[in-house]
Structure 1
């Protein structure tokens, strides 16, 4: 049926078969149109497939695609529970259908509809995994299998519960049963259930509605020690504490060096510092004020030497 004129839909003999499909501006109109696309007989399907395979006939490929668009709509409808737009699911499924048409071998003895289902579902699965959450929740074959089966199997366990109770978590028996049915490890079942029960959390929420900064995981996940500025500062402190101090002390005469070491660099076993001004004064036979003057002059000389490491 032609949607605009109310006449019967034309056979797939148009020079440009893609003109039979309306624009994607209206999803309902698109679905209605593809559901009215004429189906191909086995003979037509074989003919178009051979024309594509042997001659690279693009029009033949278009006719194969158009006649199976309703299959994509039907399959995409099965994945609406993941919260993604129906139109996007159909679009990704159409990509899978075109890949199937390109690789279809008419001599394999199977119908196009059976062959295309795998490719359509594969593209839709990949789209869901990439867009269901910000972070991809399933990467391995076992994880993908669990992602698309865990929720439905969990609902089945709830429906079969003899006591009529509804639990949000799986029991040990249900975990073991699910692992056995899907041929995966029970630890993988537990991990995937944990992933699906969580949600995306923004690392840095930014300012809230009242203008104040919101507290997010970035506040306690950030490792300031690995920041380039912190790394450079740490290296500078290490150089200053080792090579810098040694170089500065080498610039002093023996008496000034001992006074600085005793006053600032020496630590006793009990945690106390070195000698006091009066103890050093008595040791050298001078006044405490003289020891302070020598210490002050030594500090100025060391500061000048340490300027190279600043």
Structure 2
């Protein structure tokens, strides 16, 4: 993929890269299965087709990790390495869309690069571990909520004070604003001007829909009290999300008991993922 990536992170380089990948069409589920089988049989053309068809997914994921100390094109290149690994490991018989499977590999590759960069600027090990735990919990909640969780939701899930979540989010290397100019010329282009909005990305929408469908199925198989807590807590039934206290009042139990049931339900979800032939890290790490 290096031929698509320039060393410079200027506007022209990003425009050029986006122009290249926009010419590639998305794969249908049937095409993913057929190509996946061909890749397993050693077909290099099928491998390249799967990689090129999913480069836009890498961009939309890389956009979420914009850092002052790691340029966008570096993030994209790291994400592309994860994408290549996903193509090699993808089992088309498992029933997941490729974008759902590849998302974890792409994120893992990008986050490893970010952590490596953090080591070079000497962020303490205990801080890096805290940041890693927050990232892991964030993705776990994203799987259920189908949106980015708030610091308060992360704190509640990980059982840390919300002030601590805010503190470590600030330490997690400065995040670049989408409105920050990325060139010093008079065009004044910003990242928001040239990178597609992930909320409008077909690839991201497919991944979210696939995950949402599976999560609803798995939650539906839980014992009634666990199912109720997950649906009420995270609004999976289309209603508003409820606080632990509100759910406790509805069920006639304490707030702490609801929290315990929620933790048990998330563990049931992890076990179910393993039963489907996946790993919990695929969605939660």
Query: TM-score when scaled to structure 1?
Result: 0.42
The structure number with the bigger radius of gyration is 1
Higher helix share: 2
Higher RCO (C-alpha 8 Å, min separation 6): 2
Query: TM-score when scaled to structure 2?
Result: 0.46
